[in-house]
Structure 1
Amino acid sequence: METYTAMRHFADSWGLLAMALFFVATVLFTLRPGARKGAQDAADIPLKDD
């Protein structure tokens, strides 16, 4: 039962911090200035003629 308590405390503190940092990094990566062209190219793939 001690392992569960230790893992629970870890998840409540550092695990939450890691998930929050991952979320912020993902949003910033997606919204970076150079991402628009790549996203537009990917969005246009289904509309391209073969």
Structure 2
Amino acid sequence: MLKEKFSVTMKCASIAAMFHRMNLCCTRSNYRLAKANPKKQQGFTNQLNMVKTTLP
């Protein structure tokens, strides 16, 4: 994408280092499994959000 849009070629390590210098991070997207239970996932997400808001 960098080469196509900006005519620049960089290795992944160079991009990660540049992000680090800018106090940014590069993460990969997550995926959901086809057999996952949506109700259990939503329950877990709700619990996690509650814990996040109650902890200092």
Normalising by structure 2, we get a TM-score of 0.35
Specify the structure having the higher radius of gyration (Cα).
1
Higher normalized helix content (fraction of residues): 1
